[in-house]
Structure formats: structure tokens, C-alpha cells
Amino acid sequence: MAETLFFNALRDATDEEMGRDETVLVLGEDVGHYGGSYKVTKDLAKKYGDWRVLDTPIAENSFCGMAVGAAMTGLRPIVEGMNMGFLLLAFNQISNNAGMLRYTSGGNFKIPMVIRGPGGVGRQLGAEHSQRLEAYFHAVPGLKIVACSTPYNAKGLLKAAIRDDNPVLFFEHVLLYNLKENLPDYEYICALDQAEIVRPGKDVTILTYSRMRHHCTQAVKLIEKRGLDYDPEIIDLISLKPFDMEAIAKSIRKTHRVIIVEECMKTGGIAAELVALINEQLFDELDAPIVRLSSQDIPTPYNGTLEHLTIIQPPQIVEAMQKLMTAQI
């Protein structure tokens, strides 16, 4: 076991897959000689050369389109978005091309590509750099969407995403890059379509992902500190498309109560889709309405205090749980 930072776990996954398979390449802004904005590709250009770690112009639509073409010819490109918010400039390439070409070509082309990079609400990065794109892309057919949350699953999920024959949107949170965790020395891969039970419990199911996983575990510590007799089950969704409904259903059949905690916007967010699916498939299992804790439907303020108020904090999760458990909704 070796203590590894989140961004180094991603780098190790990329390095191992590039060493294993010569069709894997990386492209994006400053990924080469600079080593990436968050050093996920540090020194990889020296090791694999400029053609496999390719610095691109500041033109997201162009290099995402180039990656789709590379994937069609049998390569496995990894696109790094310097900030995932600016991949909105490549929405057409990701949706109409990456997501649909395997279908519209009648299966003649596979699109084995990964689009990864930092997103989420950072610390005073401003509205354009604090995007939550998972909801934007959730309705696009043909895409897989994954949100990693720890160094362990970041490495295992990225390796799986690189090997997958479908386009994978791989979301990393900008405030998780310095997380540390002991990772095994042996190779491992995490399933792209499976949720993780972070904490087993019996009273309420908390569904969450990305950075909010850690807010939920902090909320549990607050519950214990306050002496509240609640036993929540925390599930890290990991796969945002498709959802692991088997794991979700198993938990709800045990707890009969649900809180969804997300950093995504409330209107049309990931939680909105989850609420619809749970009500369709598991309505009779619910003893109370589903509680949705989401970010404010406003552009993220630059002001630090206001920014803090726009996203869900651990005390709000505790408060929601108290109301849910006492049926004061």
C-alpha cells in the first residue's frame, strides 16, 4: 500500500494504460510539457512523446472532434478539459458525434474515448469555472457518465473508462485533487456501472456522488457528535448514467426513506431524474416523500460567503434527516 494523492492516482491510471496499450493517447490544453493544469499528465510527454501526449490549441470543439475521429480509427483518446465548463464549446462534438456515431453508423464504428477533467464548485473560481455539467449531458444518448470521489475509485474507474468501447464522461471535482489514500500495489479496476455503499445503515438512504460524498460523511460525524440516534446508509452513486438501480432499490427496501444530496442544480439535475425513477419503480417502498438537497439555481457567485451558501453543507443534511425521521416534512 502506498499513500497517493487523488491527482496522482489519475496520473498513475493514465500511465499504466498508456504503457499497456499503445493506442491510448492524451490530448488537451497544456497536457504535454506543462503536465496539465492539475498535473494529472506530469512527465507523460517525456515518457511517451509529443504524439501520444498532444498539446492542443485553445479550441475545445476542434480537439474533441479530432478525438472522436481518432476513436473511430481504432485509437483510445483521453481528452482532458482544462476546466470541464468549457467543454460546453464542444457540446455538438460530444453529443451528436461521440454519443451517437456508434448508433448512426449501424455499429460500424466504436467510440472508445474518455473526456475527463476538473469541475464542480471550487473556491472562488467564479461562475464559468464552477460548472456542474453532469445534468447538461445526462439526456444525451450513447454516453456513459461517471463521477469519481476518492483516489481509490478515481484510479480504478479511469482505467475501466479507458478500456471501455463507449464514450465516457469522467467527472473529477476540483476540490478533491489533494485527497490522500493508501492504494494497493497491485492492479485493480472498478466497475463503471456500480454504486458503492460508503456506510451501511438502516434508517435512511442517502444517495450522493463526487464531493458531496464527503459532506455526507461529515454529516454523520455531526449526528454522532450531537448524540442523535440515526443510522443512515450512504451510497456513492459513482455511475450517473446508467444509475445502479439494483443497489439503490436494495437500500430503499431496507430503509424506506431517501435523501439525495448533490452539488448539481436542482432544476433538471441528477436528483430530479433519480426522484422520477424511484417514484416509478419503488413508490410502494417509500414511507415518506423523497428529500432533494441541491445547489441553488443561480450562477455560482465569486464571493466566498455567497458561494458557500449556494451549495449543500453538512448541517443542512443533518437538519433534513431530522425532519425526515420525525415526519415533519
Residues tagged active-site:
60, 129
Helix 6-20 crosses helix 151-163 at what angle (to 10 degrees)?
Answer: 30
Residues with Cβ within 8 Å of 103's Cβ and at least 6 positions away in sequence, in order, are: 141, 142
54, β-bridge pairs: 27
Grid-cell match 482532458, residue found: 80
Best CA proximity match to 248, nearest among 301, 294, 290:
290
Q: What are phi and psi of 272, to 5 degrees?
A: -60, -45
Following CA atoms 130, 264, 38, 147 in sequence, which dihedral angle do they give, to the nearest 10 degrees?
Answer: -170
Residues with Cβ within 8 Å of 63's Cβ and at least 6 positions away in sequence, in order, are: 27, 28, 56, 57, 79, 90
Are 282 and 183 in contact by the 8 Å Cβ rule? The answer is no
Amino acid at 204: V
C-alpha gyration radius of the chain: 20
> CA–CA separation, 91 vs 303, rounded Å?
29
Torsion sign across C-alpha atoms 57, 62, 64, 67: negative
Amino acid at 278: I
DSSP 85: G
Best CA proximity match to 263, nearest among 212, 304, 221, 317:
212
Best CA proximity match to 300, nearest among 49, 153, 123:
123
Q: What cell was used for 264? A: 448539481
Residues with Cβ within 8 Å of 222's Cβ and at least 6 positions away in sequence, in order, are: 314, 315, 318
Containing H/E element for 173? strand 168-173
